[in-house]
Structure 1
Amino acid sequence: MPDWLPIALIAGVAALAVLLLMLALRGRAAERMDRIAATLDAITAAQERLAARTDERMREQERALGQRLDVAAERTQATASAIQQRLSVIDSARQNIEALGGQVTSLAAVLGNKQARGALGEVQLRDLVQDRLPPSGFAWQHTLSNGTRCDCLIRLPFPPGPIAVDSKFPLEAWAAMQDAPDVTSRAQAARRFAADIRRHVDDISKKYLIPGETAEGALMFLPSEAIHAALLAQHGDLFAEAARRGVHIVGPSSFWAVLNTMRGLLRDARLQDEARRIRQQVEALAEETSRLERRVGALRGHYAAMAQDMRDIEVTAEKIARRGDAIRALDIPDETPRKAAE
C-alpha cells in the first residue's frame, strides 16, 4: 500500500465529513431562516397592527384635542365677551363717578349758599309731604296771624292742631365743625353750632307757636340724615332743650315716621267727619221716614173714607136699580099712539 493512500483516505473522509457538516448546517440555516422569516412576518404584522392602533389613537387624540380646542375657544370667546361687558360697565361706572363728582361739586356750591340750601331743604320737604299726605292736609308758605310765613303748615284737627314746619337749618357752623383742623377750632365751631341751633329754635318757638291757631309744637326739618344722626349723637342736649320749648328736630327718616302718624290722624279725622255726616243723613232719613208714615196714615184714612163712600154709592145704586125694576114691572097703558092718531 502506498504511503499516500491513508492520507488520501483520511483527507477524503475529512472532506466528506465537512461536506456532510455543511449540508447539515445549511439545512439548519434554512430552518432558522424560515423561522426568522416567520418571525419577521409576525413582527411586521404586529408592527402593522401597532401602527394601525397608533394611527387610530392619534386620530382619536386629534378629535379630542380638536373638541377641547373648540370648547376652549368658546370659553375664551365667552370670557372675552364677559370682559368686554365688564369693561363697558366699568366705563359706565367711571362716567357715573365723574358725573357724581360734578354733582357733588354742584351740591357743595348749593350748600354753601343759604338761599340755595333753603330751596334744597324745601324741595325735599315738599317731596316727603306730598308723598304721604293728601292735598287738603297741608299748605305751602302759609301766613300765620302774626304775619310770619312758615315753609309748610300741616292741617291737623284739634287736638293737636295745625303744625308748622321749618326747613331752614344753620349749616355754616356745622361745616366749620367738620372742617376744623384741630381740637380747639372744633370746640369753637361746636359752641357756635350749638348757639346757632338754640337761636333757630328760639325763632321757631316765637314765630310758629300761636295758642288757639297752631299746635303746641313745631317741627324743624333737617334735610340730611347724616347731620341729624351726628347732631343727635353729639348734641343730644339740644334735642331735649328744643323739645322743652315745643320745637322737635326731625331728619328725613324720623319726619317720614311723623308724617305716617299725621296721615293716620287725618284719616281718623276724615272718618269721624264722614261718620258725623252719615249720622246727620241717617237722622234726616229717620225724620223723612216718620213724615212718610204720617202721610201714609192720612192716606190710609182717606182711603178708608173713600171705601165707605164707594160702599154707600154701591148701596144707593142697588136701590135705584131695584126701584127701576119695580117701575118697569107696573102695567101702565101707553097713550102715545092715541095722541098720535088724534
Structure 2
Amino acid sequence: MDNAAFADFISRPVGSLFGHPVMPTEIALAGLALLFFILWRRAARLAGRAAEAAEREAEAADRLDAVLKSQAEITGRMQTMAEIFGARQADLTRTLAERFDGLSSRVGQSILQTTHDTKASLSALAERLAVIDRAQGEIRGLAGEVVRLQDILANKQSRGAFGEGRMQAIVADALPSAAYTFQATLSNGKRVDCLIRMPNGAPSLAIDAKFPLEAFSALREAGTDDARAFAANRMRRDMDVHVKAIAEKYLIPGETQDTAFLFVPSEAVFADLHEHFEDVVQKAHRARVVIVSPSLLLLSIQVVQAILKDSRMRAEAGRIQQEVRLLSEDLARLDARVTALKGHFGQAGRDIDQILVSTDKLMRRGERIEAVGLGDEPGALPHRSASV
C-alpha cells in the first residue's frame, strides 16, 4: 500500500459510535490504551504476589527458627530423660539383684533344711526297721521254745512275770521311753501293766499282761471228756471275769481309749484260744477288750509308732508349708513389682516412640521449609516471579 492509499485509509472513518464517526487512529489509540491498562494491572498483581511471597518467606524463617529452637529443647529433654532412665535402670538392676540374692539364699536354706530333715527321717526309719528285724528274730526264737514256755507257765508267779516282761520288751523295743509308762496309776486309783500315750492329745491305750492260764493248762492236761468239758467251762468263766475286770478298771472315758488290750505271751495259746473258744474272743470284743499275741501286740505297737512318726512329720510338714507359703508370698510380691516395672518400661518406650515420631515429623517439615526457602526447585514461587 502506498502513502496516498494509507493516508486515505487513515482519514476514512471505519464506522460510527453514537453518531460520531470512528477513525482508524482512534481505534489504534484505544487499543494501545487497553493494552497499557492490562499491562499495568498485571504488573500490580505481580508486585502484590512478590510482597506476599516476601512475607511468607519471613514467616517461614520465623517458623524455622521456632522449630529449630523447639528441636534443641526436645534434644536437651531427651538427653535428660536418657540420663534419668539410665540412673533408674541401674537402681532397678541393683534392687533386682539384691532381691534375687536374698530369694536364692532363702530357697537354698529351705532346701538344706528339708534335706536334713529327710535324712533324719530316713535314719530313724532304718533304725525302726532294724528293731523290727530284731523283734522278728526274737519271735522265731520264741517259737522254738514252746516246751520251755509250758514249764514257765506252770507257776503262776513265774507266768505273770514272764508275760509282763515279754510285753515290756516288745513295747520298749518299738517305742520311745516318753511314749509309754509301765505300772501306770490311773485316775481311779487302778494300776495298769502298760499305758501307751497316743499323739495329738488322744486318750492313752491300756494293756493288761495277766492272762488267766490255769484253766487253759487244766484243759490241756484233761484226759477224759468230762474233765475237758469242766476245764472249758472254767476257762470261759475265768475269761469272763478277767475281761469284765479289765473293762471296769482300765476303760475310763476321756483318759483311756475305748478299747483295752489283753496280752497273751504265747502264740500257741493265742492260736488255741481262737480255734476252740471263739465265743470267748467275741464276748471280749463286745466288752471292748482285744486279746493280742506277741506278734499282734508288735503290729499294734508299729501302728502306734507310725502314728507318732506321722505326727512328727506333720509338725515338720507344717513348718515347711509355712516357709513355702512365705516363699510364695515373696514370689507374688516380686511378680507384682516386676509387672509394674514392665508397665513403666512399656509406657516409657511408648512415650519415646511418640517423641521420635514427632521429631521425625519436625525434621521432614523443616526439610520442606528449607526446600521452599532455597527456591531451587522449578515450582518455587521466586522462580515463577523471575519467569514472569
- TM-score in terms of structure 1 length: 0.50
